[in-house]
Every structure is written in C-alpha cells, then in structure tokens.
Amino acid sequence: MGKRNHSGGGQAKRFKSGVLVEPGQVGIYASCNRHKEGAAAKELKQLLNDRWKEYFPVEEEATEENVKEEESVEDAIKREIYEMNKQNQDAKNKEIVKELSINCDSLIFIKTRRPIVPSNFVTRVCRELFESGAKNTRFLQKLTPIDVSCNATETEFRKSAEKVFRGHFDNQESYSMNLVKRNFSIIDRDTFASIVAELLPGHRLNYRAPDKMINIFCFKNNIGMSVVNFDDYDKLCKFNLQQIFDRVNGLDGKEATEGAKEKTGPE
C-alpha cells in the first residue's frame, strides 16, 4: 500500500491576523454571534450610512450666489474642475464609515469620521429602537461607542481619559466603569480604576446608580473610550439591540434570552 502524499491535493489554510485599530481611530465595536461577523458588519455600516446625515447635518458650502460676479468663464471652469477633483479625492481619503477587518470572533469594529460622534450615534439609534419597537438588524448585538482611542500604555490612556472626560464631569457627577478586554493583558483593571479615580477627584465611584458610564474597550494594542449618561445606558439595555427589542416587545423572558445570548469569546 502506497504512502499518502500530503504535499499535494490542496492548499494549506491561511490565517488572517486582521488589522489593528490605530491610535486616534474612533468608531463602534459591536458584538455578534460567532461566524456572523461579516453580516453584522454590513448591518452596522448600513445603519450608519442610513442615519448619520440625519443625526449630524453638515452645513453646505457657499452656493453659486456667493461667487463673485466678476469671475470670468475661464476662472469658473478652473474652479469647477478643482472642486470636482477635490471632492473625488476627499471621498477616497475620508470615508465617513469604514469597516476594519480586525478578525476577532464575535466582534467587529466600524471606523467613523467626523461629523459622526459615536457615543451620540449609539445612544440615539438605541433610543429610536426602544421607542419604535422595530428592529431592522438580525446579527448585531451590543454596541460600544469609541470617541477617543490611544496606544495601550498608562501614559497614553491618561491623556485620552483627560480628553474624553472634558464636558462630562463638571458638577461632581458620579461614575461607573464598563471595562471590556479582548486579546488584551497589558493593563489590569485595578490600574485603570486608579487612574480614572485620580483624574476625577471629587467624583464618586457609584456602581448602582451613577450619573455617567465610562466605557473602556481594550483590544490588542488599542484602548478606546467614551462617556455616556448612565440613565440612557441602563434604560437602553447597555446598548444591546437584541435585548432592547426583546424588552419593548415583551420577549425578555427565559425563552427569548436563551435564544439571544451573546456568544462572545473570553477576555
């Protein structure tokens, strides 16, 4: 009996490492069922593209009425060509909504650009679902907005935290922390907690009913952050679309939750 030839008859599997979330990139992490990452990414991109112009209207540039009447035909043609080229280049370089293929089980990340503010977007879209009871997504589960991100070092985290806290902690508001770590072991929970406490003197840590919820999402070499009102976070089921839908439609009992559990991996 001849030996099997293992060298032919097929190609070896190729494992994709996925791209990294770079410092300064912002957007939305979303959990989903395993092997449904592609479908979930399409849903979130569609959700963002359908709503961001409504949520964050952009002022239009000057109209033709503002162009000088003395402008010659030749100058007008040059200006139009320049504006067309600029718009085409901006469209290539500055996609408002873009998926980053992070290649992580049960997790996706959609990068956004201005004028989108991820925390505002997530809060508003979840509120609309809560009020309407209608859901047009199948695979998306929990959304985590990222308004600021940085390299995974204590120094950079401190700088980013100072930035994201501005405007949220002005009147001794209390806070709690929603810390998520995926493929991350660089900084431990106690260190995060101590840095936040140091940056928020006079603001009380309150696990049960705080004023603000601080989201800290750690993935590989990146730390992302946002701050949201706890009342919104709590009422809107921690921004879990499936749980919001189940709650407002009276499906949040045992039967519903067993079919809608998040199948996310370990930290």
Q: Are 225 and 165 in contact (CB under 8 A)?
A: no
What would the two tokens of residue 181 be?
A: 């770590």
Task: Name the most confidently modeled range: 3-7, 18-22, 222-226.
Answer: 222-226
State how far the Cα of 174 lies from the Cα of 212, in Å rounded to an integer: 6
Contacts of residue 241, Cβ cutoff 8 Å, sequence gap at least 6: 126, 129, 135, 137, 140, 141, 142, 143
Give the model's pLDDT for residue 67.
46
Full DSSP string of 72-110:
-HHHHHHHHHHHHHHHHHHHHH--SEEEEEEEETTEEEE
Phi, psi of 240 (to 5 degrees): -95, 110
Give the model's pLDDT for residue 256.
45
- Compute the mean pLDDT over every residue in the chain, rounded to the nearest whole number: 86
Phi, psi of 163 (to 5 degrees): -70, -45
Q: How confident is the model at residue 230 (pLDDT cuts 50, 70, 90)?
A: very high
From 225, 234, 229, 201, select the one nearest 213 (Cα to Cα).
229
Instruction: Please give the distance of CA 123 from its chain centroid, rounded to a whole number.
Output: 11
Q: How confident is the model at residue 262 (pLDDT cuts 50, 70, 90)?
A: very low
Q: Is it the case that residue 131 has pLDDT exceeding 90?
A: yes
CA angle 259-265-267, nearest 5°?
A: 135
Give the model's pLDDT for residue 135.
86
CATH topology of domain 26-55+94-258: VC0802-like (3.30.2130)
Contacts of residue 125, Cβ cutoff 8 Å, sequence gap at least 6: 47, 51, 143
pLDDT tens, residue by residue, 14-39: 445 689 999 999 999 999 999 999 99
pLDDT tens, residue by residue, 40-61: 999 999 999 999 999 999 865 5
Report domain extents, the chain.
26-55+94-258
State how far the Cα of 244 lies from the Cα of 194, in Å rounded to an integer: 33
Q: What is the pTM of this model?
A: 0.79
pLDDT tens, residue by residue, 179-198: 999 999 999 999 999 999 99
